[in-house]
Amino acid sequence: MDLPGGPTRDEVLAIDLFKLELRRSDRFLDVGCGTGRVSVEAAGQVKKVYAVDRRAEAITHARSRAAAARTGNIEFFHSDALSFLQDQDDGFDCAFVGGSRDLPAVLERLADLVERRIVVNAVLISTLQEAVLSLQRLGIFREVVQVQVAKSSPLAGGFRFCADDPVYVIVGGRC
């Protein structure tokens, strides 16, 4: 099953996980979990993963990926991100935002709930701008990393490099 926007590419995922600075005792939130790629990879590094997506087909796909990977510490939620976040009393150590409507409001709520790191992936310039401005306004903006990956592809008995679209990794946090 193909879902718009996913899954997160290997090289981008490696940077996302590095920037999240996950710890074994962490409660990790994946907002807009899509295919579940980030959730499954994080599950091996943290205590508990909470994966949220508003699309039923995304949750179905992510659950299948988690089952295939034999992860037992991911809880899935079919919900709009902001509705899910407004119902949360307990916090999270880190959060990843792979996609969300109402990004400024989501980031504002995450700033209240997340102890250490928030990482947002963006492919649209408008999303990049929204995320940076929101994190700056909240006083937790750290950096943006533009990731541009090119992979080898055969051509005329040799090879060439084919570039993927750039991804912006926006990092926020208190430490």
In three-state form (DSSP H/G/I as H, E/B as E, the rest C), the secondary structure along 95-109 is EEECCCCCHHHHHHH
Instruction: Examine residue 15 and state whether it is found in any structural domain, yes or no.
Output: yes
Domain extent at residue 21: 10-173
Model confidence pLDDT, tens digit, residues 38-90: 999 999 999 999 999 999 999 999 999 999 999 999 999 999 999 999 999 89
Q: Give the global pTM.
A: 0.93
Residue 5 per-residue DSSP state: T
In this structure, which long-range contacts are made by residues 83-86, counting pairs with CB atoms below 8 Å and at least 24 apart in sequence?
A: 84/52, 85/31, 85/109, 85/110, 85/113
CATH number, domain at 151? 3.40.50.150
Instruction: Examine residue 160 and state whether it is found in any structural domain, yes or no.
Output: yes
